[in-house]
Amino acid sequence: MTGYPLDRVHQEAAFLGRHVHWTLTEVLTLDHAERLRWVREVAAQLEQG
């Protein structure tokens, strides 16, 4: 069994840190599904301008 790729976790943490100003600790307290949901929501809002 393989886990979630660590480089992807870093990308998501950097994205949320930059756009939502969350700390690494705050981002890492989110489970995978919740973190991904936030990434998608913020990205969608950025695309809408």
pLDDT in tens, 20-49: 999 999 999 999 999 999 999 999 999 997
pTM of the model: 0.86
Q: Is the pLDDT of residue 2 over 80?
A: no
Q: Please choose, from the candidates 22, 21, 41, the residue with its C-alpha nearest in 3D space to the C-alpha of residue 33.
A: 41
Q: Is the pLDDT of residue 1 over 60?
A: no
Q: How many CA atoms lie within 13 A of 5 on its CB side?
A: 4
Q: Note the helical H segments in 1-49.
A: 6-20, 24-28, 32-48
